[in-house]
Amino acid sequence: MYAQMVKSTGKGLKSRKEMTPEEGRFQDRIDAGEKIEPKDWMPDGYRQTLIRQIGQHAHSEIVGQLPEGNWITRAPTLSRKLILLAKVQDEAGHGLYLYCAAETLGVSRDELTEALHTGRMKYSSIFNYPTLTWADIGAIGWLVDGAAIMNQVPLQRTSYGPYARAMVRICKEESFHQRQGYDIMMKMANGTEAQRAMAQDALNRFWYPSLMMFGPSDKDSVHSAQSMAWKIKINTNDELRQKFVDQTVPQAEYLGLTIPDNDLKYNKKTGHYEFSDPDWTEFFEVLKGNGPCNRERLGARVKAWDDGAWVRDGLMAHAVKHSAKIAAE
Ligand code: 3HC
């Protein structure tokens, strides 16, 4: 039932002539920039693509708490600890809004959770990398939340109403996250030699995984063509990756840090930076479950779900007793 199994390719896009009258009317609404709402008619592929993307996005927010949660008890000051706690809590909130948006498409939160735990649904590749030092928390805020915002700001205009509306608040909060990360990087980059080295090392390790967050190159992207025709995606993976590099290189220069790419150069003619691709073999390995932390991350989620069973059971038992009491009155 999940769109992980629905492979819409650019080549598979239906022409106007091939569409049923209902599909044609739906496409007209999309082309006119109308929002699609939960009770509106929609093609099954549109529904399944949204469940896949929103579900994967929700899972990313939830799994994304783990690498940072790892540093809450080790934050260097009380103020940094409070900020990190609030950030991690925001990510939980983002996951919840997104699960709610997915539920409007007829899938339950339990089904989505089960699909994550059994490996049928993905979460962002970036969260399969370890956080080894405090500077990694800075790099995550700066680069990972920075990449997330680059991808998510256009999603505020996505064609599905509940997803677009959820993205408005998420993007506002992600901007704070990005700034707190950059603030940590500024402190480290302007600190002692050792702190500066930690900041550079964090940038070295998180640069390419951050570029991978935008997905495979356009030529290998399975869903982009159909998702863009439906305005589920507004930009291609490569367009957003380029925007991210263009925005981030001057920020690294301001920090006095070096992007770990010997081929990085500014092209005056195009007004864009030229840069090296990430290692796509590594990317696809991480997607297959073979990244440095895949097993640990999924294991932590499954354990949290199992450990919370007594709370869910308790609530259910209370609900049953409560309804029986009301029925008896
Ligand atoms: N990590 C894991 N899987 C990825 C991926 C990544 N970085 N990039 C692509 N994939 C997967 C796709 O899900 C798809 O797999 P599937 O067919 O089994 O579902 C496959 O690789 C092919 O990629 P496509 O380009 O065809 O897939 P999409 O059209 O869905 O594009 C995307 C991928 C750009 C990530 C898109 O799904 C998207 O914009 N998603 C919404 C944003 C999102 O999920 N962000 C998560 C980032 S983390 C975050 O927000 C937390 C914050 O706190 C930092």
- pLDDT tens by residue, 81-138: 999 999 999 999 999 999 999 999 999 999 999 999 999 999 999 999 999 999 999 9
Dist CA 56 CA 59 (whole Å): 5
Dist CA 75 CA 83 (whole Å): 10
Residue nearest to atom 41 of ligand 1 (CA): 57
Residue 36 bridge partners (DSSP):
160
Mutate to test the pocket of ligand 1, among 122, 145, 163 (most ligand atoms within 8 A of CB): 122
Atom of ligand 1 nearest to the CA of 127: 48
- The answer on pLDDT for 7 being more than 80 is no
Tokens, residue 314: 């308790």
| Per-residue model confidence (pLDDT) at position 2 | 35
Residue nearest to atom 11 of ligand 1 (CA): 215
When pLDDT is averaged across residues 302-321 and rounded to a whole number, the result is 97
| Per-residue model confidence (pLDDT) at position 59 | 98
- Ligand 1 contacts CB of residue 213 (under 6 A): yes
CB 178 within 8 A of CB 145: yes
Residue nearest to atom 16 of ligand 1 (CA): 4
Cα-Cα-Cα-Cα dihedral sign, residues 235, 3, 160, 102:
negative
The string of pLDDT tens digits covering residues 194-233 is 999 999 999 999 999 999 999 999 999 999 999 999 999 9
When pLDDT is averaged across residues 277-305 and rounded to a whole number, the result is 97
Residue nearest to atom 23 of ligand 1 (CA): 221
| Per-residue model confidence (pLDDT) at position 329 | 87
0.75 cut: is pTM over it?
yes
- The answer on pLDDT for 24 being more than 70 is yes
- Ligand 1 contacts CB of residue 101 (under 6 A): no
Going from the Cα of 215 to the center of ligand 1, the distance in angstroms, rounded, reads 6
Residue nearest to atom 15 of ligand 1 (CA): 4
By percentage, how much of the chain surpasses pLDDT 90?
94
Across the chain, what does the average pLDDT equal? 95
| Per-residue model confidence (pLDDT) at position 264 | 98
| Per-residue model confidence (pLDDT) at position 236 | 97
| Per-residue model confidence (pLDDT) at position 324 | 96
When pLDDT is averaged across residues 137-148 and rounded to a whole number, the result is 98
State the CB neighbour count (10 A cutoff) for residue 251: 17
- The answer on pLDDT for 282 being more than 90 is yes
Phi/psi at 241 (5° precision): -60, -45
Dist CA 62 CA 108 (whole Å): 16
| Per-residue model confidence (pLDDT) at position 224 | 95
The string of pLDDT tens digits covering residues 242-251 is 999 999 999 9
- Ligand 1 contacts CB of residue 210 (under 6 A): no
- Ligand 1 contacts CB of residue 80 (under 6 A): no
By percentage, how much of the chain surpasses pLDDT 70?
96
Going from the Cα of 315 to the center of ligand 1, the distance in angstroms, rounded, reads 34
| Per-residue model confidence (pLDDT) at position 13 | 86
Cα-Cα-Cα-Cα dihedral sign, residues 91, 92, 93, 94:
positive
| Per-residue model confidence (pLDDT) at position 6 | 38
- Ligand 1 contacts CB of residue 60 (under 6 A): yes
When pLDDT is averaged across residues 133-155 and rounded to a whole number, the result is 97
- Ligand 1 contacts CB of residue 57 (under 6 A): yes
When pLDDT is averaged across residues 45-51 and rounded to a whole number, the result is 97
- Ligand 1 contacts CB of residue 171 (under 6 A): no
